[in-house]
Amino acid sequence: MSEQELRPAYDDESNGDELKRGSIYKQTRARKADIAGSFEGKKDEWPVEKKQRVGKPAEVDAEGNVVPKPVRLPKRKVAVMVGYCGTGYCGMQYNPPNPTIEATLFKAFCDSGAISQDNANDLKKNGFMRAARTDKGVHAGGNLISVKLIIEDPTIKQKINECLPEGIRVWDINRVNKAFDCRKMCSSRWYEYLLPTYSLIGPKPGSILYNDIEQSKKDLPGVLDEDTESQQFWAEFEKLSGETFSDDEIKQIRAYTPPPKEEFSDSEELYLKVKQYKQLENKLRRKYRISKEKLTKFRSAMKQYINAHNFHNFTLGKDFKDPSAIRFMKEIKVSEPFVIGDAQTEWVSIKIHGQSFMLHQIRKMISMATLITRCGTPVERISQAYGPQKINIPKAPALGLLLESPVYEGYNSRLEKFGYDPIDFSKYQNEIDAFKMKHIYDKIYKEEVDDNVFNAFFTYIDSFNKVTGAVGEENETKKGNNVQKSIFEFLTAHGIPGIDSDGVKSEKGDLKEATNTASPSTATGATSQENSGEAPAEAAAVDNATVEGA
């Protein structure tokens, strides 16, 4: 008996006829019949059949021989750990035709074979993303890029570094999972700011800010500190300048106003005396060594930033009621003073560990704490700045700012579960420190000495109202509160308008607490765009630091 005969028979076996009895089948047959009938006898009008896709014609050389196609190697999602000196670059982010860190890195990836020529014309094809965007001239000891690279070659890191200038280095290339985004997965960031300690010397006697502070002491005695250290510094400078110049010469120097450019002459006698006078002041600033009391005051001011606060006054384009203005600072360290460079200038290093940063936030934080210290203002004034009252906080120079490293505490555990190495910059700390000393710190120290960046900044701040005419004058239409007061009134004994010594709005105001603390969970984390530190001024609402912007 055959196998077919041995098979059991079932009553519900199908021969496919029932599939031809449905309404859909009948409609399909009808449509086919209609189409066929409409073109009956009109073969030229039958629908044209789709042509099969034909690939690009093979490339041939000059002799007509087919050029073999390069072998397509797989791309892998990786995290590239980099460090760079921002001098000479228009920031981190790719922005043609301007020279940027990303443009230089991308070219090195292509030249080294980490990115194929087919994908060498667009960053998006390779999933290019940075952890923090730094501003023009801002440096980074460690930053992270997530990108798809060809990493079959075990020496690919060395080849990439060979294609890069000395001021940009790749520390490591780590495999990550496909969903990894270096910006969104970043839990926090470390920034460093280098500050010469002479920045904490009080305003120069006779300057606008100095006069405002002294007058406020008479109006409200006992509010501001008596800064004997700064008084001694300026008394010593007065003595040295008196030994070098006559009283009439000092009066002429202080009253000197540079002529128009076309009339300026660097050989003019008065200009040479002004130059000598400033050199004498700069020389004395270089010799300045901060006291323990003033350093303690500065550290107390910086501690006011720890935890979650409303930093709307420390950025641009943010309103007090904007939830994204609340940021969480985890840790802040101020180093012991150290003397470095040929000019023997004393510096301190400030390290800030925050969940995320807004445009110019770090530079304004440093500026506020520095101004509070040099003016003898109560450190609680920083907490009051978290309130609804809008105040103008200047930005400290970008020169001292650098991104230390992004942190991936939460995501590292997930990477390890996927079988990948955690992202840890500390493994390369010795290399990073050597790189920072050679390509970042030395440039900062040299530029500060050559251009007197911080001295110029604080000299401008001390005379800001005189330079800009920021203080209004009373007239028939504007009197009393309608007249604009000093833009840095919050540094004097009078304090932030409408806030009493307890840090709350007076009865004339809102009776709302000026300080605004919140739990870390309410602080804004990684947002739609990153800054670091500190981005261009036009991008007022950009978040996360760059480099300053952070």
Give dist(CA 202, CA 227) in Å, integer.
8
Give dist(CA 393, CA 327) in Å, integer.
17
The pLDDT of residue 48: 58
The pLDDT of residue 43: 53
Give dist(CA 136, CA 546) in Å, integer.
9
Q: Where are the alpha helices (H) located in 148-227, listed in sequence order?
A: 156-162, 208-219
Are the C-beta atoms of residues 200 and 374 closer than 8 Å to each other?
yes
Lowest mean pLDDT among 102-116, 251-265, 382-396: 251-265
Q: Where are the alpha helices (H) located in 190-268, listed in sequence order?
A: 208-219, 228-244, 247-254
At 109-161, the pLDDT tens digits run 999 999 988 888 777 788 889 998 888 888 999 999 999 999 999 999 999 99
Q: Is the pLDDT of residue 66 over 60?
A: yes
Give dist(CA 550, CA 544) in Å, integer.
7
Give SS3 for 432. helix
Give dist(CA 46, CA 320) in Å, integer.
69
H or E segment to which residue 285 belongs: helix 269-287
Predicted TM-score (pTM) of the model is 0.77
Taking residues 74-78, what's their average pLDDT?
A: 90
The pLDDT of residue 478: 64
Give dist(CA 463, CA 456) in Å, integer.
11
Give dist(CA 237, CA 486) in Å, integer.
27
368 is written with which tokens? 């506020």
Q: How many CB atoms lie within 10 A of CB 396?
A: 28
pLDDT grade for 29, boundaries at 50, 70 and 90:
low
Q: Is the peptide bond before 549 cis (omega within 30 degrees of 0)?
A: yes
H or E segment to which residue 130 belongs: strand 129-130
Give dist(CA 475, CA 484) in Å, integer.
12
Q: Is the pLDDT of residue 363 over 50?
A: yes
Taking residues 304-309, what's their average pLDDT?
A: 96
- Closest listed residue to residue 420, CA positions, set 81, 160, 180: 180
Taking residues 72-86, what's their average pLDDT?
A: 91
The pLDDT of residue 9: 53
Q: Is the pLDDT of residue 395 over 50?
A: yes
Provide the residue count of the chain. 550
Distances 55 to 68, 72, 122 between C-alpha atoms, Å: 15, 16, 22
Distance of CA 443 to the CA centre of its chain: 19
At 191-233, the pLDDT tens digits run 999 999 999 999 999 999 999 999 999 999 999 999 999 999 9
Q: Which is higher by pLDDT, 256 or 41? A: 256
Taking residues 70-89, what's their average pLDDT?
A: 88
Q: State the greatest distance between any 2 C-alpha atoms of the chain, in Å, as a whole number.
A: 133
Alpha-carbon dihedral angle through residues 361, 362, 363, 366, given to the nearest 10 degrees? 120
Q: Is the pLDDT of residue 549 over 50?
A: no
Domains of the chain: residue spans and CATH: 75-187 (3.30.70.580), 197-244+288-407+425-495 (3.30.70.660), 245-287 (no CATH)
Q: Establish whether 191 is an annotated binding residue.
A: yes
Distances 203 to 40, 174, 242, 471 between C-alpha atoms, Å: 98, 50, 19, 18
Are the C-beta atoms of residues 490 and 478 closer than 8 Å to each other?
no
Annotated catalytic residues are 135
Amino acid identity of 280? L
Q: How many CB atoms lie within 10 A of CB 37?
A: 8
The pLDDT of residue 354: 95
- Closest listed residue to residue 189, CA positions, set 412, 328, 355: 355
- Closest listed residue to residue 149, CA positions, set 74, 38, 204, 56: 74
